[in-house]
């Protein structure tokens, strides 16, 4: 997941988002910070700040599909297919930040 996010991050699309975010699913999680148009990945959760935003997916494949656009994130969110701990605007700013970038590995 980290590799996918690294390749898809586009600082021009993150707006004014300034938060530590966790993508969470039952088997694992992925934590990163977006601050001042830059992303920092925390592959060791013990070395990261507590997330201000947690986005809960059913599994890693669902997260991958939403990030790559195989699943429409707005429709999926409205259907309750994934959820967050709040900050709805941040959810979509975060997804927008990863909606494009350099190459897109599978």
How much is the pTM? 0.90
Paired tokens of 32 = 């990163």
Q: What is the pLDDT of residues 8-58, one digit of tens each?
A: 999 999 989 999 999 999 999 999 999 999 999 999 878 899 999 999 999
Paired tokens of 78 = 């409205």
Q: How many CB atoms lie within 10 A of CB 19?
A: 17
Q: Is 8 within 8 Å of 67 (Cβ atoms)? A: yes
- Of the candidates 27, 32, 26, the one whose C-alpha atom is nearest the C-alpha of residue 2 is 32
């Amino acid at each position: 997941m980290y590799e996918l996010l690294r390749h898809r991050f586009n600082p021009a699309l993150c707006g004014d988002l300034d938060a530590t975010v966790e993508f969470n699913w039952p088997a694992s999680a992925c934590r990163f910070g977006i601050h001042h148009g830059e992303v920092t990945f925390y592959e060791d959760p013990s070395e990261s700040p507590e997330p201000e935003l947690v986005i809960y997916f059913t599994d890693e494949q669902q997260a991958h599909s939403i990030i790559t656009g195989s699943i429409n994130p707005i429709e999926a969110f409205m259907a309750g297919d994934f959820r967050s701990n709040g900050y709805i605007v941040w959810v979509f700013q975060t997804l927008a930040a990863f909606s494009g970038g350099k190459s897109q590995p599978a």
